[in-house]
Structure 1
Amino acid sequence: MIPVRHRPPALPGPPASTDPGAPSVGRRRDLLTAGAALLLFAAAAVVGGLLGHGRVLVSWPPLTATWEPHAGPGTPAAVAVAVLVVGYGAAVARRLPWGWLTWSAWATAAAWTWSLALIDGWRRGVAGRLTEPGEYLRGIGHFHDAGSALRGFTGHILAGTPQSWETHVIGHPPLAVLTFVGLDRVGLGGGAWAGAFCITVGSAVVPAVLVTLRALGGGDAGERTARTAAPFLVLTPGAIWVGASADGYFAAVAAWALALLAVAATASSAGRAATAGLGSGLLFGAALYLSYGLVLLVIPALAVLLCAAATRDRGSPGGLPIAVAAALSGVGCAVLSFTLAGFDWWEGYRLLRVRYYQGWGGIRPYAYWVWGNAGATVAAIGLACAAGLRRAVLGAPGAVRRRRAGHVPVETLLPCAMLLALLAADLSGMSKAETERIWLPFTLWLPMTAALLPARDRRGWLIAQATVALLLNHLLLTVW
């Protein structure tokens, strides 16, 4: 996020605290919450280690990683990005014109993600990530005839079937692998291009969240919240798994589906509501065919519409229903296209559930992972986010009341919706391990809760976020 010579006056930050009483009480509770989150991660690591690799089937539970202290060419760059964002990020985010902020936030998030990936080196950190056994690039050869592969896609999911797909191809609808087939067809084949694509696109989650906050926050208040949250969205530990995993790409598609829905639902004209709504629906439809789990986007989508309904006085009178109708039309187009091409989403999901329990999903103990997943999530969101989430959850009832009065604390309501989606995924039993990567489409939104933290504490919390990411990436060799 770079400063410019001509800039608008700085906007004040949003109200920070949801705690009654003295500020010191809220600060103490923030620190206790962060400490509890750290203890949860430690407990998951200790219990997972005692259970052993043969039971939990990850090398360094609760993360899919190995203990390997190391440094690499990305080390100085990662430290430099962290220092610059901690030192200047908040001030720059307050002063940049809005358009510059969104582009700068994307560029800075990409720099942070690239530098973290390159701590592992070019081959291990970027170019080789998506070429490992079981990854998408190993499945490209099956799609010389994409039409035939789509029509027979579900016939290669179950174990023991002839020419069973690679692990990640099995675990997702066909658009996931077709994305990399498309890159290969246009001359961008191989692991380096695939890794660069996932990092660049995955970093676009940050501007999508900023756009959503601004659209739903009720005018200047939404923009103030977005500007306050920007450095935390950029400097998230989750960037470790954005670079380079396909789930970072999935997260960006999901994020822009929600952002466009927010824009459509608060649009000042019917035309804009219809256009943005259709774009949102097409992206929601794409998300459904990238990952089965992204059907849970319906929960944050409803939260977006709930927030938008409270700001309807700022938009077109018929904007909200037009946005919803256009979005549903876009989803319908995506579903119809894949169905006519021969892929049955419901059949694919049914077979995947069978296949999941034929493999490691049937071995990994639910009793551990149902809470061990939360430990992995702590690593992905960081300690500042844990403290902010406490404020968001406690403030949710009051947020609903204020929504009825026309004020929309989206930084409270939307994270709670993301938590509900994660809870549903966790209880389903279809998310045992690897959630630091799989849950990116939801966890990358949670740093917005840092906007609820007291202004005088934010720099310290930002340092904590950067420290978590740097320690994890230098001490552990992550698989993704």
Structure 2
Amino acid sequence: MTRQEATSTGHRADLVAGACALLLVAAALVVGMLTGARLHGGERFPGASPSFGEYPVLGHLSPHVGPGTLLAVLVAAAVVAWGPALAERLRWRAVLAVAYLTSVAWILALALVDGWRPGVVHRLETREEYLHEVPGITDIPAMLREFAARIPAGQPDSWTTHVSGHPPGATLTFVWLDRIGLGGPTAAALFCVAVAGLVAVAVPATVAVLGRVDQARAAIPFGCLLPGAVWLGVSADAMFAGVAAVGVLLFALGAARRRWWLCAAGGAVLGWSVFLSYGLVLMAPVALAVVLVTRCWRALAYAVPAALAVAGVFALAGFWWLDGYDLLVRRYHDGIASARPYWYWVWANLACLALAVGPAVAAGLRRTAPEFLVPRPSPVPALARGAALAVLAADLSGLSKAETERIWLPFAVWLAVAAATLPGGSRRWWLAAQAATALAVNHVLLTNW
């Protein structure tokens, strides 16, 4: 086979992989429509009907345009047209700054398609969100001591859905914002978007630190136009993704440069992330990917104690992570999980993820997957493999049924690096496909986040 024939075959295989991802979404949609409302526990959302839009993504059919439509199209067109070239030519610090600003613009533009209030402000002010509990938290030490006891549902003082579903670090973040004068849904939403934008910097910077600056530059435009930005704006999971990504970057900097204080800093940030979301304990395979690439096992000797120190502080304050996790699992299985069939969500979850990462990542994973079995792969396959293992564990656990387009964002951003392996000549087309995916989802569906 000639080089030209091999290239042509590779392009066709990429297209097949991207098409398979979209077919998975279509299959989940069709099965969801045929099997009915109980796939989401029988809930009904404002304006929802048992038709296209509820399955598998949480939301409902509502074709619309909004104030962010033109901005989103312009951002997408700019990244497709100039993103790859600028990512290669600009100085490294400059390209990271541009990536951050572009990512924030993309996230906000997509959120504004639904309008300022419904798309940005309202997302975090519903009764089930963290902000609902903030006014009642006047004594933080007391809140931590009683936090686990208020997780079970059905009590007069039970926490709301999102507060009970996460460790206290998530709620504390919004309490602290309120204490420094940034209270209310607008400040909280913009804070989440600002932290989410760090993903576009931290993920490629990690690839660069691990020795592949070329692939880090190639990954930047894909990070900026991630379809998952539909759910990064605005949800607390956006903040979780940003914090976890920064933790991995700090750990990678420490391991690659043998700066042990950076390893400890990365461990502390990752330890904190586990108190934002129980599921972020599954960031361990991504962190271990850093160790495998750098061959610096000593880094764990500094990162792990730092992470455990965070857990120790919470334990001394009255909250034991394992107690909270156990009570949450009971509440979940006794509640909504009992009405969400495992047989459907164990694969439909992956359809939600496919929408969040986009067809370009499916094509990139086709190219990186052969290295998944290599003991010491290069940085991009190593990080993507770590994220894939995290997703697999979350999926098979049965603790992720639906809403994974949002819940799995901290893992999705590391899967997205796989798009860096796509050939340079095809990247603009794949970027256009990524943008089209996000624009279609955001303009056809009114998502709950």
Secondary structure of the corresponding residue to residue 154 of structure 2? coil
- The Cα of 1:21 is off from its aligned counterpart by 6.3
Q: For residue 55 of structure 2, what is the aligned residue in structure 1?
A: 61
Among candidates 197, 202, 211, match of residue 208 of structure 1: 202
Distance 1:358 1:75, change over 3 A: same
The CA distance in 1 between the partners of 2:128 and 2:314, in whole Å, is 24
What code does the residue aligned with 2:132 have? R
Alignment of 1:219-258 (within 5 A): 222-258=212-248
Distance 1:53 1:340, change over 3 A: same
Do residues 264 (structure 1) and 263 (structure 2) align?
A: no
- The Cα of 1:321 is off from its aligned counterpart by 5.0
Q: For residue 289 of structure 2, what is the aligned residue in structure 1?
A: 303
Alignment of 1:437-448 (within 5 A): 437-448=406-417
Alignment of 1:3-14 (within 5 A): none
Alignment of 1:251-330 (within 5 A): 251-267=241-257, 270=258, 273-309=259-295, 320-330=296-306
What code does the residue aligned with 1:70 have? H
Secondary structure of the corresponding residue to residue 375 of structure 1? helix
The CA distance in 1 between the partners of 2:142 and 2:40, in whole Å, is 37
- The Cα of 1:322 is off from its aligned counterpart by 4.9
Do residues 28 (structure 1) and 12 (structure 2) align?
A: yes
The CA distance in 2 between the partners of 1:282 and 1:158, in whole Å, is 29
Number of corresponding residues: 437
Distance 1:470 1:175, change over 3 A: same
Among candidates 452, 457, 478, match of residue 426 of structure 2: 457
> Structure 2 length normalisation: TM-score?
0.95
Do residues 114 (structure 1) and 98 (structure 2) align?
A: no
Among candidates 358, 375, 379, match of residue 355 of structure 2: 379
Q: Per-residue CA shift, 1:105-139, capped at 9, x if unaligned?
A: 11110010010111110111111100012101011
Distance 1:230 1:55, change over 3 A: closer
The CA distance in 1 between the partners of 2:419 and 2:5, in whole Å, is 20
User: Is the 8 Å Cα contact of residues 385 and 447 (structure 1) preserved in structure 2?
Assistant: yes
The CA distance in 2 between the partners of 1:375 and 1:242, in whole Å, is 18
Alignment of 1:71-86 (within 5 A): 71-86=65-80
Q: Per-residue CA shift, 1:297-351, capped at 9, x if unaligned?
A: 1111111100111xxxxxxxxxx35532221232122011100000010000000
Query: What is the identity percentage for the equivalent residue pairs of Structure 1 and Structure 2?
Result: 47
User: Is the 8 Å Cα contact of residues 159 and 358 (structure 1) preserved in structure 2?
Assistant: no
Do residues 419 (structure 1) and 388 (structure 2) align?
A: yes
Q: Per-residue CA shift, 1:64-121, capped at 9, x if unaligned?
A: 1111011111111100000100000011110111111111111110010010111110
Secondary structure of the corresponding residue to residue 390 of structure 1? helix
Larger deviation, residues 46-55 vs 112-121: 46-55
- The Cα of 1:395 is off from its aligned counterpart by 3.2
The CA distance in 2 between the partners of 1:396 and 1:328, in whole Å, is 25
User: Is the 8 Å Cα contact of residues 233 and 445 (structure 1) preserved in structure 2?
Assistant: no
- The Cα of 1:20 is off from its aligned counterpart by 11
Q: For residue 436 of structure 2, what is the aligned residue in structure 1?
A: 467
The CA distance in 2 between the partners of 1:45 and 1:266, in whole Å, is 44
User: Is the 8 Å Cα contact of residues 291 and 297 (structure 2) preserved in structure 1?
Assistant: no
Q: For residue 126 of structure 1, what is the aligned residue in structure 2?
A: 120
Q: For residue 11 of structure 1, what is the aligned residue in structure 2?
A: none
User: Is the 8 Å Cα contact of residues 373 and 426 (structure 1) preserved in structure 2?
Assistant: yes
Q: For residue 95 of structure 1, what is the aligned residue in structure 2?
A: 89
Q: For residue 158 of structure 2, what is the aligned residue in structure 1?
A: 164
User: Is the 8 Å Cα contact of residues 276 and 323 (structure 1) preserved in structure 2?
Assistant: no
Q: For residue 143 of structure 1, what is the aligned residue in structure 2?
A: 137
Larger deviation, residues 79-88 vs 353-362: 353-362
Q: For residue 346 of structure 1, what is the aligned residue in structure 2?
A: 322
The CA distance in 2 between the partners of 1:441 and 1:321, in whole Å, is 24
What code does the residue aligned with 1:364 have? R
The CA distance in 1 between the partners of 2:357 and 2:237, in whole Å, is 15
User: Is the 8 Å Cα contact of residues 142 and 149 (structure 1) preserved in structure 2?
Assistant: no
Q: Which runs of 5+ in 1 are unaligned?
A: 1-18, 310-319
The CA distance in 2 between the partners of 1:254 and 1:471, in whole Å, is 28
The CA distance in 1 between the partners of 2:268 and 2:383, in whole Å, is 21
Q: For residue 178 of structure 1, what is the aligned residue in structure 2?
A: 172
Secondary structure of the corresponding residue to residue 444 of structure 1? helix
> Structure 1 length normalisation: TM-score?
0.89
User: Is the 8 Å Cα contact of residues 291 and 299 (structure 2) preserved in structure 1?
Assistant: no
What code does the residue aligned with 2:27 have? A
The CA distance in 1 between the partners of 2:297 and 2:329, in whole Å, is 35
Secondary structure of the corresponding residue to residue 60 of structure 2? strand
Q: Which runs of 5+ in 2 are unaligned?
A: 49-53
Distance 1:20 1:356, change over 3 A: farther
- The Cα of 1:293 is off from its aligned counterpart by 0.5
Q: For residue 12 of structure 1, what is the aligned residue in structure 2?
A: none
User: Is the 8 Å Cα contact of residues 262 and 304 (structure 1) preserved in structure 2?
Assistant: yes
The CA distance in 2 between the partners of 1:281 and 1:192, in whole Å, is 31
Q: Per-residue CA shift, 1:185-214, capped at 9, x if unaligned?
A: 111111100100001111111110111101
The CA distance in 1 between the partners of 2:169 and 2:215, in whole Å, is 34
Q: Per-residue CA shift, 1:15-67, capped at 9, x if unaligned?
A: xxxx9961111111111111111111001011111111134346611101111
The CA distance in 2 between the partners of 1:74 and 1:413, in whole Å, is 36
- The Cα of 1:396 is off from its aligned counterpart by 2.7
The CA distance in 2 between the partners of 1:381 and 1:364, in whole Å, is 23
What code does the residue aligned with 2:359 have? L
Q: Per-residue CA shift, 1:351-394, capped at 9, x if unaligned?
A: 00100012111111011000010111111010111111111112
The CA distance in 2 between the partners of 1:74 and 1:161, in whole Å, is 41
Among candidates 361, 384, 388, match of residue 364 of structure 2: 388
Q: For residue 314 of structure 1, what is the aligned residue in structure 2?
A: none
The CA distance in 1 between the partners of 2:121 and 2:215, in whole Å, is 37
Secondary structure of the corresponding residue to residue 66 of structure 1? strand
